[in-house]
Amino acid sequence: MNNCEYQQIDPQALSTPTPTPTLPPRPAVEEERTRRKWEVFPGKNRFYCDGRFIVAQQSGVLPLTLGLILVTTVLFFVFDCPFLVKHLTVFIPAIGGVLFVFVVTSLLQTSFTDPGILPRATPDEAAYIEKQIDDSGSSTYRPPPRTKEVMINQQVVKLKYCFTCKMFRPPRTSHCSLCDNCVERFDHHCPWVGNCVGKRNYRFFYSFIVSLSFLTAFIFGCVATHLALRAQGGRGLIFALQESPASAVELVICFFSVWSILGLSGFHTYLVASNLTTNEDIKGSWSGKSGAEDPGNPYSYNNIITNCCSVLCGPMPPSLIDRRGFVPVEESLQTVSTEMELPMLAAKKEINVVGGPMPSQLPPLLCLAGSLPSTCNPPQPD
């Protein structure tokens, strides 16, 4: 047997192979936390308490509304009620307390209730509708606003197509540009309550403005009576204001608020009695304001009591967006893949510069394959 000679090889003399890049492990859907639908909701809304409460994204005026009501009522109970109980009756704080609770409850229900948001069409539903109404055959052509006509109480009503939600809006539905949602029986977007006012929360909104009118007028009358009683005996109004300066603050707030609130309550009382919405009244949909013939309101029962009962006392429709439901597995997979692609796209943009990428930015696999030897393996100096 021939003798074999072995030579010891210095491990440091060998070139260290470039490690292959390892992508971050893709999280399994079973291992990650199951998502609820409110977490991937496409509209411009904010959710609280795991999707139980919904408000508009721009709801910064709501704390101001609540703060004005709380400050005025607290000042009334602290500085006016003790004097009025002593000189008039104990029922004044009781009446004020009932009205205050009713106002705050109605306000919170209006603000945190789904106004009647319609879910957007799924990709299959949107493709089916587009196939029916777009016969141009071009994928880049966007046709003008499309409509569909339906009959309601022997009257033709046009349904507009919503390009955002990819569906024909049901009757009395409009797309809110602030919340980016189609709202059923859309009345208006109210920044004072921080939410849209629609089919599911209009009764709460109407209760809020009517009860607020009573509360504001009640506090204004009680404060005026308080100051009048203190000014008796020739002491004058200035003496009364010096004795109770907080009453002057309440008087100013109520004086400048009661007229607008009373006017708003009267306007919405007219809408309820006519079975109209603010959106329909402004556009003149059924009153001839838009320049067309007065076709008459197809949703009115031609009876004030019946209209009021239909708007305010009907059964509460269920929410259609199912915000606390779980996202299906297919949609969850698409969401995860989208989140993983974003960092990779950002990395590609970083190396896509004029003059080519730096050697440190090139993937090591290109160097190992020898596609760019002069760049990946620069000559070492002697």
The token duo for 369 is 């394959």
Domain match, 215 and 165 both: no
Domain match, 136 and 201 both: no
Domain match, 163 and 75 both: no
Task: Please enumerate in sequence order all residues whose Cβ is within 8 A of that of 170, keeping only pairs 6 or more positions apart, or say none.
Answer: 118, 159, 184
Domain match, 204 and 312 both: yes
Flag the least confident range among 55-64, 140-149, 278-287: 140-149
Judge contact between 198 and 185, C-beta under 8 A.
yes
Domain match, 133 and 269 both: no
Residue 335 confidence (pLDDT):
47
Q: Identify which of 231, 258, 253 has the alpha carbon closest to the alpha carbon of residue 242.
A: 231
Q: Is residue 102 part of a domain?
A: yes
Q: Is residue 251 part of a domain?
A: yes
Flag the least confident range among 120-129, 263-272, 285-294: 285-294
Please pick, among 190, 196, 222, 254, the residue that the annotation labels catalytic.
Answer: 190
Q: Identify which of 161, 163, 190 has the alpha carbon closest to the alpha carbon of residue 173.
A: 161
Residue 349 confidence (pLDDT):
44
Q: Is residue 339 part of a domain?
A: no
- Report how far residue 203's alpha carbon sits from residue 316's, in angstroms, rounded to the nearest whole number: 10
* End position of a domain, from candidates 102, 137, 169: 169
Domain match, 110 and 202 both: yes
Bridge partners, 181 (sequence order): 176
- Over 60: is that where the pLDDT of 359 sits? no
Residue 288: which pLDDT band, with cuts at 50, 70 and 90?
low
- Over 60: is that where the pLDDT of 286 sits? yes
- Report how far residue 318's alpha carbon sits from residue 141's, in angstroms, rounded to the nearest whole number: 37
Residue 26 confidence (pLDDT):
55
Q: Is residue 81 part of a domain?
A: yes
Domain match, 127 and 240 both: no
- Report how far residue 31's alpha carbon sits from residue 336's, in angstroms, rounded to the nearest whole number: 12
Q: Is 284 left (phi over 0), alpha (psi -120 to 50) or beta?
A: left
Q: Is residue 23 part of a domain?
A: no
Task: Please enumerate in sequence order all residues whose Cβ is within 8 A of that of 206, keeping only pairs 6 or more positions apart, or say none.
Answer: 268, 272, 311, 312
pLDDT tens digits, one per residue of 64-107: 999 999 999 999 999 889 989 988 888 999 999 999 999 999 99
User: What's the mean pLDDT in 198-218?
Assistant: 96
Residue 320 identity: L
pLDDT tens digits, one per residue of 170-202: 999 999 999 999 999 999 999 999 999 999 999
Domain that holds residue 95: 59-118+190-288+295-317
Domain match, 127 and 157 both: yes
Q: Is residue 41 part of a domain?
A: no
Judge contact between 46 and 55, C-beta under 8 A.
yes
Domain match, 139 and 218 both: no
Is residue 376 flagged as an active site residue? no
Domain match, 150 and 252 both: no
Residue 72 confidence (pLDDT):
94
Domain match, 237 and 267 both: yes
Q: How many CB atoms sit inside 10 A of residue 74's CB?
A: 13
Domain match, 311 and 209 both: yes
Judge contact between 223 and 79, C-beta under 8 A.
no
Q: Is residue 378 part of a domain?
A: no
Q: Which residue has the higher pLDDT, 188 or 340?
A: 188
Judge contact between 153 and 163, C-beta under 8 A.
no
- Report how far residue 182's alpha carbon sits from residue 377's, in angstroms, rounded to the nearest whole number: 60
Residue 364: which pLDDT band, with cuts at 50, 70 and 90?
very low
The token duo for 182 is 């189609």
**Count of domains in the chain?**
2
Q: How many CB atoms sit inside 10 A of residue 13's CB?
A: 6
- Over 80: is that where the pLDDT of 295 sits? no
- Report how far residue 317's alpha carbon sits from residue 320's, in angstroms, rounded to the nearest whole number: 9
pTM of the model: 0.74
Q: Which residue has the higher pLDDT, 215 or 150?
A: 215
Strands 45-48 vs 53-56: parallel, antiparallel or unpaired:
antiparallel
Q: Is residue 108 part of a domain?
A: yes
pLDDT tens digits, one per residue of 305-314: 999 999 999 8
